[in-house]
Structure formats: structure tokens, C-alpha cells
Amino acid sequence: MTTPHTASPLSPVGAHVPVSGGIATRGLAYAAAVRAETIQVFVSNPRSWSRGPGNPAEDAALRENSALPLFIHAPYLINLGTPYQETATRSAASLEHALLRGEEIQAGGVVVHTGSAVRDGRREGLRRMRERLLAVLERLSPSSPPVLLEPMAGQGGALCATVDDVAEYLDMLEWHPKLRVCLDTAHSFAAGHDISTAPGMRAMLDRFGETVGADRLELVHANDSKAQCASNKDLHQNIGAGRIGAAPFAELFRHPVSSGVPVIVETPGPETPHAADVNTLRRLRTLGHTASRERGSAGWSAAPSPQAPATAAEPVGAPAR
């Protein structure tokens, strides 16, 4: 049976932080201003294929001066399911660069979108993705951070959007031990999971535990949605200002699948609305943790996460770089 997240009883809540001016100098100052307990950063321009080196002094300052759980978001252009070889080559190189930078700054994971078939149908896109991503994974060093697969909103021939899609995607990749998952609530809502009520959020997390396994969930992007459920539109909104509403987010902090998992907001900024979203989620965390102690987790169980075999379009409201 999958082990729920119990080592850390409270999920740290934080934000994607800007790094223009220094990944430590600007990023940590922004984190302090919004009271972030965990952060996510870009390590290259998310809208280009550029792969510049990091600043050793800033990297060192980040490692030495921050105990915050840290994650990297890889560039939005990456698509390992593409039928175009040049895009595929650039995608693999861009992901490998993000993973190398993740190793250098001791990130807990590198988030990457699960991609699109573009043409030829989903099955062919999944086949291409499998070949390319497994090759990247097999080249990783033991100290490399895991790849955090982020399902999309279901738009444009998406290879992975719903929770059931995640299980199929991981199955195509032989449940590689370096793979984990980053769930984005706005994406899940747009893909058809109606999480606008606490029972709806609970049902989605139940399904994740049953089909994927709690031990594969490494990060949650907590974003409200401007778009309707099942719209396949990736439109982030501030917590409580969208169609999901604030209250269902409390379930993230009490459900056995997601309790203890870091939560990052990628909502429209800048600093003031981000601070408000972090504060809202911290209050919901208190409510969720209290309710969890009262309700307990009786009656919930999760299927085992399959083990690896022995042989082994940019969202509206995306954070500023």
C-alpha cells in the first residue's frame, strides 16, 4: 500500500519567485516579502531555448542562506512528444540543462510540462515522448533531482491532463525511479476534475492515490482558474478569485495524498497579490490540519505505486522571470 505523506505534517506554502537581479539576491528577498516557505524559480528564460550558466556566487548564496524547499520550472517550450526533430533535440537539451542547474543549486525537483502530440495522435506522441525522456533519465547522475511531470489542461493534443492520464504516462516510462508528479489545480480543473468543492478535490486526490500513488506526488501548484471546468483552457487566477474558489484548497492540506507536500502559487502577481495568496493558503492549511485531526484518514487507502522494472503553451498569468 502506498504510504501517505506523514513525515511532514504541514505542507510548506510558497510562490514562484522572480530571479532577475540574482537567483539568491532577488529570489530570497521576494520570498521573504511574500512569507514563502518554499520557492520555485526559472534558471533560464522560460520562453526561449537559451541555456546560460548560473552565477556561482548567487548559487552559493542560495545554498548557504536558504533552508526553503526549492524547485525549478523548466522552460515552457519543452515538448518531448513533438513530431519535429529540431524541437525534440532542443527540448531534451533544455531539460538536461535545467536538471544540471537543479543539481548545482540543490533543487528538490525540476518541473516540466508533459507535452503535446501536435499531430499524428496521442499514442504516437506518447511513443515519441517515451523514447526521448527515457534517454534523458538514463543519463542522469545519482545526485540529479527528480523530474516532476506536470499534467496540462488538456489543450492542443495534450499527452497528459487527467489523473488517469498520469498513470498511463508513467506506465509508458516504466515508472522510472527519477520521475515524480507536480499537480496543478488550475490544469486539473480545466482537464475535467471538478475540484470546486471539498468533495470534488477529495475525489481527485483519492483517484491520484489509487492510480498513481501518494509517494509520486512531489509538488502542488495551487492556482485558481479563470476558465470553466473541462474547458481545456490554462488560465490561472488568484486564490478565491476564480471558479474553483478558496475553500476547496483546504483539502490539499488534510488529504493523505497531499498532506505535507510543498504547495507553490503561480497566480497573477506581483508581490502584493502573491503575498495575499500565500496568506490565504496558510489560513486554509490551519483549517485543513485541524479538520484532518478531527476526521482522521479512516476509510482511505491507496494503491501501491508501481515500481520501476529491474532493468531499468505558456499559461496566462504565469509568473515573471
Which positions make up the binding site?
Answer: 73, 113, 150, 184, 187, 221, 234, 236, 266
Annotated binding-site positions for Zn(2+): 73, 113, 150, 184, 187, 221, 234, 236, 266
Radius of gyration of the chain (CA): 18
Surface-to-core class of residue 246, CB atoms within 10 Å of its CB (0-12 exposed, 13-18 middle, 19+ buried): middle
Nearest one of 304, 114, 78, 118 to 191, comparing CA atoms = 114
Nearest one of 234, 194, 239 to 317, comparing CA atoms = 234
DSSP string for 104-151: HHT-S-EEEE--B--SS-HHHHHHHHHHHHHHHHHT--TTSPPEEEE-
Strands (DSSP E) found in the chain: 13-16, 39-41, 70-73, 110-113, 147-150, 179-184, 217-221, 224-225, 236-237, 263-265
For residue 86 the three cell numbers come to: 529540431
**28-49: string of b/e by CB count within 10 Å (b at 16+)?**
bebbeebebbbbbbbbbebeeb
SS3 229: coil
Residue 265 bridge partners (DSSP): 15
